[in-house]
Amino acid sequence: DIQMTQSPSSLSASVGDRVTITCQASQDISNYLNWYQQKPGKAPKLLIYDASNLETGVPSRFSGSGSGTDFTFTISSLQPEDIATYYCQQYDNLPPCTFGQGTKLEIK
Amino acid sequence: QVQLVQSGAEVKKPGASVKVSCKASGYTFTSYGISWVRQAPGQGLEWMGWISAYNGNTNYAQKLQGRVTMTTDTSTSTAYMELRSLRSDDTAVYYCARDVAAIVGATRFDYWGQGTLVTVSS
């Protein structure tokens, strides 16, 4: 199985900060990488698909990049409503598709 | 608008089975797949498997092979996930999600159900 290593596991930042989360795959997954946001008690929400494509309706302050084994998710200017846990997910090698362990983002 | 509405919370004893439903609306059901994802209390997301609503093909996580069955009823646009021989570590919130992969899955999950809490306890 492909392992997804996400870092950091938690992050504290101020409103307006640029926030970066990384996800590393244990083998080449091309661009088969998605990013989700999950707020407490809610279902996850798709933000970025195929590494760098913004899902319809998602604010442009969210972006993704990378290919192969190394991927980055960025919030250009952190807003209070961005407080959530963020997950990467790969789907290159099925089964299974796998999620990273998550990054819990808090306001400083 | 696309909606996935799941059945209500369940409490089961170890060794029992549970069947969770997921009723879809607002899109052509057979043009997509459905993936099931679970989340144990305080833990991360775990993909369980995928079913094509187009042809019924399935793809299950290896660790659940033999215990899980996913089905669809295209007449009611409803997907089902049955998990058997329940253990305490199956206690989790179970989500269905629309998967853009209709033929070969899974890919990305663009709409999610509200989640169904399944508690396994003696």
Among B44, B49, B115, the residue with its CB nearest the CB of A101 is B44
Say if CB B23 and CB B2 are below 8 A apart. Answer: no
CB contact under 8 A, B62 and A45: no
Q: What is the pLDDT of residue A86?
A: 98
pLDDT at A96: 80
Q: Is the pLDDT of residue A48 over 90?
A: yes
CA distances from B9 to A99, B24, B62 (A): 24, 18, 26
Task: Give the tens place of pLDDT for each residue, B44-67.
Answer: 999 999 999 999 999 999 999 999
Q: How far apart, in whole angstroms, are the C-alpha atoms of residue B64 and residue B61?
A: 6
Average per-residue pLDDT for chain A? 96
A17 to chain B, closest Cα gap in Å: 25
Q: Flag whether pLDDT at A94 surpasses 90.
A: no
pLDDT in tens, A16-29: 999 999 999 999 99
Look at B95 and A43 and tell me if their CB atoms are within 8 Å: yes
CB of A95 within 8 Å of any CB in chain B? yes
The Cβ of residue B111 has, within 10 Å, a number of other Cβ atoms equal to 20
What sections of B16-122 are H helices per DSSP?
none
- Kindly compute the dihedral angle of the four CA atoms of residues B72, B84, B92, B116, in this order, to the nearest 10 degrees: 40
What's the mean pLDDT in A39-49? 97
% chain B with pLDDT above 90: 94
Contact state of A46 with B109 under an 8 Å Cβ cutoff: yes
Q: Give yes or no for residue B15 having a pLDDT over 80.
A: yes
Strand partners, B3: B25
Interface list for B 63-102 with A (CB within 8 A): 95, 97
Give percent of chain B above pLDDT 70.
100
Best mutation target among A21, A33, A94, A99 (most B Cβ atoms within 10 Å) is: A94
Residue of A nearest to B116 (CA): A43
* A102 in reach of chain B (CB within 8 A): yes
Q: Give the per-residue pLDDT at A14.
A: 97
Say if residue B18's pLDDT is above 90.
yes
Contacts of B107 by beta carbon, 8 Å cutoff, 6+ apart: A32, A91, A97, B99, B100, B101
User: Given a cut of 80, is residue A87 above it in pLDDT?
Assistant: yes
